[in-house]
Amino acid sequence: MPDPTRPLRKLGFLTIGLFDPAEPASGHQSTLQIIELGERLGFDSAWLRHRHLQFGISSPIAMMAAASQRTSRIELGTAVTPLGWENPLRLAEDLATVDLLAGGRINPGLSVGEPMLYDTVKHELYPDSSELEDFSYARLDRLARLISGEPVRDFSGRQGVVEEFSNRVEPHSPGLRDRLWYGAGSRKSAVWAGSNGFNLLSSSVVFPETDQEPDFAHVQQSQIRAFREAAATSEAHGPARVSQGLVVIPIDSASPGQREKYQRYVDERTPRTRAPQGPKGMMFAPDLIGTSDEIAEQLYAHAGFQEVDEVAFALPFSFEPEDYIQILTDIADKLGPALGWNPAQRGQDSQ
Strands (E), the chain: 10-15, 45-48, 75-82, 106-111, 157-159, 163-165, 181-183, 199-202, 205-206, 242-244, 248-250, 283-284, 288-290, 310-314
Q: What is the total count of domains within the chain?
A: 1
Alpha-carbon distance of 163 to 263, in angstroms, equals 61
Q: Are strands 205-206 and 242-244 parallel, antiparallel or unpaired?
A: unpaired
The answer as to whether 184 is a domain residue is yes
Summarised one tens digit per residue, pLDDT across range 231-283 is: 999 887 678 999 999 999 999 999 999 999 999 999 999 999 999 999 889 99
* Section 222-234 average pLDDT: 95
3-state SS, residue 48:
strand
Per-residue model confidence (pLDDT) at position 8: 96
The answer as to whether 135 is a domain residue is yes
Report the range of poorest mean pLDDT among 142-156, 234-248, 297-311, 314-328.
234-248
Per-residue model confidence (pLDDT) at position 1: 43
3-state SS, residue 86:
coil
Summarised one tens digit per residue, pLDDT across range 75-123 is: 999 999 999 999 999 999 999 999 999 999 999 999 999 999 999 999 9
Predicted confidence (pLDDT) at residue 3 exceeds the cutoff of 80: no
The answer as to whether 345 is a domain residue is no
The answer as to whether 347 is a domain residue is no
The answer as to whether 111 is a domain residue is yes
pTM as predicted: 0.95
Alpha-carbon distance of 48 to 35, in angstroms, equals 10
The answer as to whether 165 is a domain residue is yes
The answer as to whether 348 is a domain residue is no
The answer as to whether 251 is a domain residue is yes
CATH number at residue 173: 3.20.20.30
Q: How far is CA 105 from the centre of its chain?
A: 14
Alpha-carbon Rg for the chain, nearest whole angstrom, is: 20
* Domain, as residue range, for 23: 10-338
3-state SS, residue 5:
coil
Alpha-carbon distance of 60 to 80, in angstroms, equals 9
- Please work out, in degrees rounded to the nearest 5, the angle formed at the alpha carbon of residue 209 by the alpha carbons of 231 and 50: 65
Predicted confidence (pLDDT) at residue 2 exceeds the cutoff of 80: no
Mean pLDDT of the chain: 94
Instruction: Residue 114: count other Cβ atoms within 10 Å of its Cβ.
Output: 13
